[in-house]
Amino acid sequence: MNIADQIRLKLQLKENSEVEYKSAAGGFPKVEFWRSFSALANTNGGTIVLGVKEKNHKFTPDGLSEELVAKYRKQFWDDAHNKSCVNIPLLVESDIEEIKTDGGQCLLAFRIPRAQYDLRPIHLTLTPFGHTYKRRDEGDYLCTDDEIKQMYSDANNMRASADSRILRGYSIDDIDIPTLHQYRRAYDIKHENHPWTELDDKKFLEIIGAYRKDRATSTEGFTVAGMLMFGKTNSITDPECCQEFFPDYREHLSDDLQVRWTNRIYPDGTWEANLYQFFTRVLPLLQHALPVPFSLDNNQMRNNTTTAHVALREAFANSLIHAAYTVRGNIVIDRYFDRIVLSNPGTMLISMEEYYEGGHSVCRNPVIQKMFVFLGIGEKGGTGADVIAKGWKDNGWSIPTVEEKSNPDRIETCLKLERNTKDTTETHKNTTETPTDTTETTTETLADTTETTTETLTNTTETPADTTETILKIISNNPKVTAKEIASVCGITEDGVAYHIKKLKQRGRLIRVGGTRYGGEWKVVE
C-alpha cells in the first residue's frame, strides 16, 4: 500500500502516534510541523499530513491549492537545510507526496523516518536541550535532559560503548570474587581445555573486557561492564559507575490483593547484586514457569530443556544486555500466572521492523554481551528475536511482543504463557509429548497418586478456547490426573493450572475428595 492509499484509509480513523494531521489553510504551520517532525523522528517515525482539519474529533480534508502545495514544498526544504530550524533534514524528495482525495482535494504528506540511533537526537534550533521532542500516543512532548543525554550516549556507542568506560579509583577489591569464580566455572564447562581457563583472575578479566587499557591515554582499570557483571553492590551503585542500578525480580502468584508479591529478589543486602548473580538466581525461577514435556536425549536421559527454555533464557539475557544503565530506571522482571514481563530502561537502537525481521544487531552494551556469549547465552548477529519467537511458537503460545514505552524510556518484552487458541491439535501434538511417568511430585493443589495412560490424555488433546473447560474434561476422564499432566496437555504452566483449579473451586465446579497429595482425587460438579 502506497502512502496515498494509507492516508486515505487513515482519514477514516483518528489521529494516532504515527499520523499527525494539520490544516495549513492559513499558512505553513512552522512551529507545530517541526515539533512533530522532531517527535516522530526520535520515536518510531510516521507521517505529517497538511490539508486536514479537525472538527468534533473528526478529521476531514480542507484541501490545499496547487499553488500552496508548491509553496509549502519549497518552504519545507528551505527550513530543512537551515540548522537554526532543525539539525538534520532526514528526508529525500520521495518522502514527500502530493495526494488527491476522493473529493479531488490536495493534501501534502511528509513521510518521517525513524532516525537511526547514531543520528539522534533530532532537535530544533542549534541547541538540543529544551528543543528535542518525542512522540507519545497522538501528542508530542519535550524530552528531558536525561533522555537527550542517553540519545547522545547511544549515538557515540559505535566509537566507544558506555559499558567499556574505564572507572576511576576501582581495584580488585571492588570485584566479588565468588561471583567471578562462579562465572569461570561455567566458562570452564563450556570451553573445556581452553587456554583461557589457565589464566589468573586479573588476566581473565582483562581478556573478557572487564578490565582494559586505553592505548591513546595509557589509562587502565576496571570497566563499567566488568563491575556490572562481577562487582560488589556498593561498588556498582557508586556515582562513578551506575548509581541507579537496581535489578528487581517480582513474582505475582497470589489472588489475594493484599499480597503485593509472592517472591522478590532485589538488592536487599543479603547478596552481591551484580548482573551475573541476578541472572543465575532469577533464571531458574522464570524457567520453572515453563512446562517440561517428557522426552529423552541421545543418551536416553530425560531432557529438561526445551526450545521455550532457551527462548526465555535469551529474552532475559537480552533485557540485561540492552539496558541503559546510566539513566534513571531499573531492570524489572515480573512473573505472573499467565505471562512473564521483562522491562529495562532505554530505547530500541533498531526499528521494530528490523527487530522482527532479524539479521540486524546493534548492542548498547557489547562488552556485557560478549561476556554472556562466552557462556553460550545472548545471541549475536540479530538472531535473538528468531530464537525467542521459535521457542514460544513450538509451545503453541502467542509470539512474544516487544514494546517501547516513553516517559521514561523503557523496552518491555511480554511472553504470554497461555496457549494460542488458534493453534491446531496437530501443532499441539508435535510440540508437547504426552508424559508417561506420573510419579513425580506435583503442586499442592493436585494429587500425584497414579499413573495416567497415554490413551486417557490423548482423548483430551483438543484445545478448546476455554482453558478451564479443557481442564474439566481432563479431570473427568481421569480424576487422579496430576498438575504436570494437565499443564502438558493444555500448554500452560503448573502455576497456571493451580490458578485455574482455584477458580473452578471458587465457582463450585470442582471439589476435592480425600487428601491433597496421596489417596485423593478430584470430582467435577456439573
Q: For residues 314 and 455, state if they share a domain.
A: no
- At residue 305, the pLDDT reads 77
Q: What is the pLDDT of residue 357?
A: 64
CB atoms within 10 A of CB 113: 16
Whichever domain contains 456, its CATH number is: 1.10.10
Average pLDDT over residues 472-501: 77
Checking if the pLDDT of 456 tops 80, the result is no
Least Cα distance to 101 among 55, 63, 46 occurs for 63
Please report the pLDDT score of residue 464 as a whole number.
37
N-terminal to C-terminal alpha carbon distance within the chain: 52
Of 357, 383, 416, which one is at a domain's C-terminal end?
416
Q: In whole angstroms, what is the distance from residue 155 CA to residue 162 CA? A: 11
> In one letter, which amino acid is 368?
I
Retrieve residue 374's grid coordinates.
562466552
Average pLDDT over residues 58-73: 87
Mean per-residue pLDDT for 475-501?
76
- The residue ranking higher by pLDDT, 196 or 439, is 196
User: What is the pLDDT, as a whole number, of residue 93?
Assistant: 92
Residue 69 lies in a domain: yes
149 falls within a domain: no
Residue 470 lies in a domain: yes
| CA separation, residue 63 to residues 24, 25, 49, 53, 474 (Å) | 9, 7, 11, 9, 63
Co-location of 131 and 170 in the same domain? no
Strand partners, 133: 142
Indicate the number of domains in the chain: 3
Residue 23 lies in a domain: yes
pLDDT: is 293 or 230 the higher one? 230
pLDDT of residue 452: 35
Give the CATH number, domain containing residue 381: 3.30.565.60
The pLDDT value given to residue 102 = 74
SS3 166: strand
Give the pLDDT band of residue 110 (cuts 50, 70, 90).
very high
- φ/ψ (deg, to 5) at 117: -60, -30
16-32 pLDDT tens trace? 567 888 988 889 999 99
Q: What is the pLDDT of residue 483?
A: 79
| pLDDT greater than 80 at residue 78 | yes
Sign, Cα dihedral of 345, 346, 351, 357: negative
Domain match, 98 and 181 both: no
User: Would you state the pLDDT for residue 509?
Assistant: 82
Answer with the residue of higher pLDDT: 452 or 289.
289
Give the percent of the chain with pLDDT over 90: 44
The region of weakest confidence among 33-42, 142-151, 243-252, 507-516 is 507-516
Tell me, what's the pLDDT at 259?
Answer: 87
**159 in a structural domain:** no
Q: Does residue 423 fall inside a structural domain?
A: no
Same domain, 447 and 394: no
pLDDT of residue 109: 92
Average pLDDT over residues 274-280: 97
Dist CA 455 CA 449 (whole Å): 18
Query: What is the pLDDT averaged over residues 329-343?
Result: 93
Give the DSSP H/E element, type plus range, for residue 107: strand 106-112
Q: Residue 48: which CATH number?
A: 3.30.950.30
Task: For residue 6, name the pLDDT band (cuts at 50, 70, 90).
Answer: low
Indicate whether 156 belongs to any domain. no
Reply yes or no on whether the pLDDT at 115 is more than 60. Answer: yes
Same domain, 474 and 365: no
Taken as a whole, the chain contains a residue count of 526
Question: In this model, does residue 449 exceed pLDDT 60?
Answer: no
> Taking 70 as the threshold, does the pLDDT of residue 139 lie above it?
yes
Separation in Å, CA 436 to CA 308, 441, 452, 476: 21, 14, 7, 19
| Residue 378 or 231, more confident | 231
pLDDT band at 90 (very low <50, low <70, confident <90, very high): very high
The backbone region for 209, taken as left when phi is positive above 0, alpha when psi lies in -120 to 50, beta otherwise, is: left
Residue 512: its pLDDT value, please? 80
Whether 30 is in a domain gets the answer yes
Lowest mean pLDDT among 291-295, 305-309, 387-391: 291-295
Same-domain check for residues 89 and 203: no
Distance, C-alpha 524 to centroid of its chain: 40
DSSP 116: P
CA dist., res. 102 & res. 8, Å (int): 8
β-strand partners of 412: 343, 403
Residue 354's closest CA among 42, 39, 114, 90?
A: 114
pLDDT of residue 297: 52
DSSP string, 453-518: -HHHHHTT----S-HHHHHHHHHHH-TT--HHHHHHHHTS-HHHHHHHHHHHHHTTSEEEES-SSS
- Same domain, yes or no: 98 and 59: yes
Identify the domain containing residue 60 by its residue range.
3-143
Grid cell for residue 497:
493450572
User: What is the rounded distance in angstroms from the CA atom of residue 134 to the CA atom of residue 128?
Assistant: 12
Integer Cα distance of 115 and 351 in angstroms: 9
pTM of the shown model = 0.65
Mean pLDDT of the residues in the chain: 81
Are residues 215 and 295 located together in one domain of the fold?
yes
Model confidence at 155: pLDDT above 50: yes
Which stretch, 184-193, 385-394, 400-409, has highest mean pLDDT? 184-193
Task: Please compute the mean of the pLDDT values over residues 112-122 and round it to a whole number.
Answer: 88
Are the C-beta atoms of residues 21 and 36 closer than 8 Å to each other? no
Residues sharing a CB contact under 8 Å with residue 451, sequence separation 6 or more, in sequence order: 436, 437, 438, 439
pLDDT at 314: 92
Does one domain contain both 81 and 121? yes
Whether residues 407 and 440 fall in one domain: no
206 and 69 within one domain: no
Residue 17's pLDDT is what? Answer: 63
Q: Check whether residue 343 and residue 471 sit in a common domain.
A: no
| Cis peptide bond upstream of 121, omega within 30 | yes
Only one residue has cell 516517559, namely 407
pLDDT in tens, 157-211: 656 788 999 999 999 999 999 999 999 999 999 998 899 999 999 999 999 999 9
Which of 143, 173, 202 represents a domain boundary (last residue)?
143
Residue among 371, 40, 334, 342 at smallest CA distance from 224: 371
- Cα gap 377→354, rounded to integer Å: 21
